[in-house]
Amino acid sequence: MVLNLDTLPRKAAVAGLAAAATLGLSLPLWSHFRVSRLSAEGTQESLQAAVAIQPRNAELHNRLGRVLLYSPLGDAARTTAELQRAVELDPRNGAFWMDLALAREISGDLQGASAAIQRGRAAEPHTPSLLWHEANFQVRRGQVEPAMRLLRELMQNAPEYTGRVLPLFSRVTEPATLIAEVVPSTRPAMDAAIEFIRRENQVSAAAVAWERLLKMQDPPVGQMRPFLDWLISRGEAALAVRVWREASQRGWIPVPPEAAAEPLYNGDLRQPLQDFGFDWRVLPHAEASVWMEGRGPEPGLNSLCVQFSPEARADYSHILHYVPVEPNYHYALRAAMRSDRLAARAGAFLQMSDPFRPGSSARTDAVTGSGGWRDVLASIETGPDTKMLLIRLARPAPVVAEEPGSGLVCIARLQWSELGPRKAESPVAGKQ
């Protein structure tokens, strides 16, 4: 069939039909464009205009209700009405119900809020964000046990919520309880739990977390070093020793298990320096270079050496080692030291002290100038609360009138001895 457009009336009729068809398509498109633009603005006025264009759009009603909810000048009745309209238009959207529940709770309608939460959970029973909202609602009402049940369900479905659950709910529940009963045994969840313990200094939860880690098939091994160093920095010697030894037994840290059981780990310097835990630590210093070499006081022994720069004047105590000890006990440290053109008049020496209780310390004789290997000794008696001692290689800063403290010092063959319980009349610390 061929449409004959040989007359003006026929041409006008076809043009009119085409215009009508185009108008029928363009009006909805224009309406959609206006709503999108108004919605993108996100203000109360723009959303009200968008709702006027599309009054049956549930999302627009919800967004307008949320803007009113968080506005300092919001109308509570209007807010609830908009959020109520959203759930009427789309009752299967659980998030809409939670927004309505919050509006009702703020206005004091706790029963209505609870009903809205139940409708939302019925619509989306396992959605993590809805479980999170309901758990928070129960805590705000003082219902800790129902909240704990919800948190268990939440964490089983979404362990990534660990980092949000622990800081918030530790305000109403012991962190140890949350880690023992709520946090799932997955690497991401336990990783977040250890991060929380360290960040918030939750010492009481550390032992519980370690018990959980020991039972995991895939523990967050990357947390072993920072977790162990955090325990040492907090003075938690007993748990730190346990973590050090049990982590080495499981291959979670690169420390031989038999060596980890020694009172002074790596005193013979045969193991690579780990720079964490109960091994040697070397802190950066602008005027010193540190290395381990295969020359010691006897063949086959290694030594740890520090070369100070020609202009070295700053105090140096940047090689250190934590040693777990018993309170009220007598210990001795023996070592070999040598120096080469060490210009510092005070020399260099090994010093022992309680890192958490200043005042209790002991030191070896100092080495200075140039000389071969010589044996040095220091002994110390720990106090009633001492759990760790800190060994440092120290070289005091030269005074102004002295030459710079340049030169070399090395240590080797460190031996740790337990001399027995401290005598009642003995002083807390002795100096050698």
Question: What is the pTM for the complete model shown?
Answer: 0.80
For residue 377, name the pLDDT band (cuts at 50, 70, 90). very high
pLDDT over 70 (residue 7): no
> Which pLDDT tens digit goes with each residue over 395-414?
999 988 889 999 999 999 99
> Which pLDDT tens digit goes with each residue over 161-204?
999 999 989 988 999 999 999 999 999 999 999 999 999 999 99
DSSP 412-425: EEEEEEEEEEPPTT
Interhelix angle 44-53/8-41, nearest 10 degrees: 140
Instruction: Work out the percent of the chain whose per-residue pLDDT is above 90.
Output: 76
> Which pLDDT tens digit goes with each residue over 133-142?
999 999 999 8
DSSP 360-387: -EEEPPPB-EEEEEEEEEEEEE--TT--
pLDDT over 90 (residue 126): no
Cβ atoms of 297 and 336 within 8 Å: the answer is yes
Interatomic CA distance for residues 232 and 277, integer angstroms: 7
Q: How many other C-beta atoms are found inside a 10 Å radius of the C-beta of residue 250?
A: 13
Interatomic CA distance for residues 235 and 421, integer angstroms: 21
Determine the length of the chain.
Answer: 432
Interhelix angle 187-200/224-233, nearest 10 degrees: 20
Domain 281-421 in this protein, CATH class: mainly beta
Largest Cα–Cα separation, the chain: 128
pLDDT over 80 (residue 269): yes
- Bigger pLDDT: 52 or 11? 52
What residue type is assigned to position 13 of the chain?
Answer: A
Interatomic CA distance for residues 216 and 280, integer angstroms: 29
DSSP secondary structure code for residue 348 in this structure: B
What is the overall mean pLDDT for the chain? 90
Q: Using alpha carbons, select from 341, 352, 420, 417 the residue that is nearest to residue 390.
A: 352
SS3 assignment, position 210: helix
pLDDT over 90 (residue 428): no
So what's the pLDDT on residue 23?
Answer: 45
DSSP 260-277: HTSSSTTTT--SPP-SST
So what's the pLDDT on residue 385?
Answer: 93
pLDDT over 50 (residue 88): yes
Q: Which residue has the tokens 């050496």?
A: 305
